[in-house]
Amino acid sequence: MKLLLYKSVLFLIPVLLVCAIVEFKLRKIPNSYSYKKYNLEKRLSQIEVLILGSSHTYYGIDPDQLHFCAYNMANVNQTLYYDKMLVGKYIDRMKSLKTIIVPISYFTLEKEPDSDAKVRYFYYKRYYDIDFPEFNVFDYVNLRRYSLIALYGDRTTGIIKDRFHTNIIENIMENGWFKYPYKVKELTVDVANKRISYHHSLMKQEFAVNNIRILDELIRKAKGRNVNIVFVTLPTSQYYNNLADKHVLLRKERVMKELCDKYHMKYLDYFADKRFNDEDFFDSDHLNGVGAEKFSPILDKDLRL
């Protein structure tokens, strides 16, 4: 038994050493969370406009096109909960902050909070020390909470094969905007139907109660610091917005009107804006780099009206 234990230890030592080296090297590679945090904190006191949200604003708004010192803090699948928590973490240090842009996508109000973003929660905990929306003991023993090897998953193998030269932050600008390549994916009714059907699969009307509560808390936090909230719905392709459920749109419009009337805020809705064509999108509901550079000046003008 002692011999078996001894051999096991001898076997584990090099394995643990290799893992430690990989962990160390992974820590040196910036990702969208660490990179955006670094650039945000570097200019906290100068930022006048903070852009929140998920991939729609992440890809769709170029802060450099705004007549303000702006920063894009959006990220893929970033939920309203994390928008609220990021504001709470930084707003007291943002002495120049005047406006927060909160995107309201087609699915935002009725989307299940944990739908497809849970793995990303570990990034917020690691880089921003923001706890999960709900306590779950299994999340506290999950290896992703402590190990980048586990957090990156299959991507770790590719990074090792690339000898740790992988550029995870390619196309992310210092202002936080992800400049998506100009290449246009095939845009058809069938493609858009699959996309919107996927969004519908994540949506239920009962989820709106919690999402509206989070929005209300975010608004109160901002108002308490004399910071304005502007809600924005970004453009989608004709294929996507033509397939949108009119009942969902009506419910969204009703909620937004109630919030805007209650708190005296502005809502800018570009969901079916005819100024955008197929060349402005990389899929049915996301602007590409061309579309973002076209949309951002339009948004800038409307923000200043």
d(CA 14, CA 100): 50
The whole-angstrom separation of Cα 274 and Cα 267 is 18
Give yes or no for residue 7 having a pLDDT over 90.
Answer: no
DSSP 8-state class, residue 233: E
pLDDT tens digits, 140-189: 888 899 999 999 998 999 998 898 999 999 999 999 999 998 777 789 99
Q: Is the pLDDT of residue 193 over 70?
A: yes
Asked whether 50 and 87 are in contact (CB, 8 A), the reply is yes
Task: Tell me: pLDDT of 116 over 60.
Answer: no
In this prediction, residue 4 has a pLDDT band, given cuts at 50, 70 and 90, of: low
Q: Domain count for the chain, please give it.
A: 1
Beta-bridge partner residues of 34: none
Answer with the residue of higher pLDDT: 128 or 2.
128
Does an H or E element contain 303, and which?
helix 289-303
> What 3-state DSSP class applies to 94?
coil
C-alpha 69, offset from chain centre: 20
- State the pLDDT confidence band at 119, using cuts at 50, 70 and 90: confident
In a domain, 14, yes or no: no
Residue 178 included in any domain: yes
CA distance 297 to 305: 13
Task: Please check whether residue 89 lies inside any domain of the structure.
Answer: yes
Is 226 part of a structural domain of the chain? yes
Three-state secondary structure along 123-168?
Answer: HHHHHHCCCCCCCCHHHHCCHHHCCHHHHHCCHHHHHHHCCCCCCC
Residues 257, 126 contacting (CB under 8 angstroms): no
Q: What is the CATH number of the domain that holds 74?
A: 3.40.50.1110
Which pLDDT value is given to residue 184? 75
Beta pairing class for 286-287 and 281-283: antiparallel
Residue 150 lies in a domain: no
Mean pLDDT, the chain, rounded, equals 92
For residue 100, being part of any structural domain is answered with yes
Does residue 155 sit within a domain?
Answer: no
Instruction: Note the pTM of the prediction, 2 decimals.
Output: 0.93
Q: Is 107 exposed, middle or buried (0-12, 13-18, 19+ CB in 10 A)?
A: buried
On whether residue 195 sits in a domain, the answer given is yes
Each residue of 221-242: pLDDT tens digit?
999 999 999 999 999 999 999 9
Q: Rounded to whole angstroms, how far apart are CA atoms 227 and 97?
A: 7
pLDDT band for 212, please (50, 70, 90 cuts).
very high
pLDDT for residue 72 is more than 70: yes
What range does the domain containing 254 cover?
35-116+171-303
CA distance 18 to 201: 42
Looking at the chain, the whole-number percentage of residues with pLDDT higher than 70 is 95
pLDDT of 39: 97
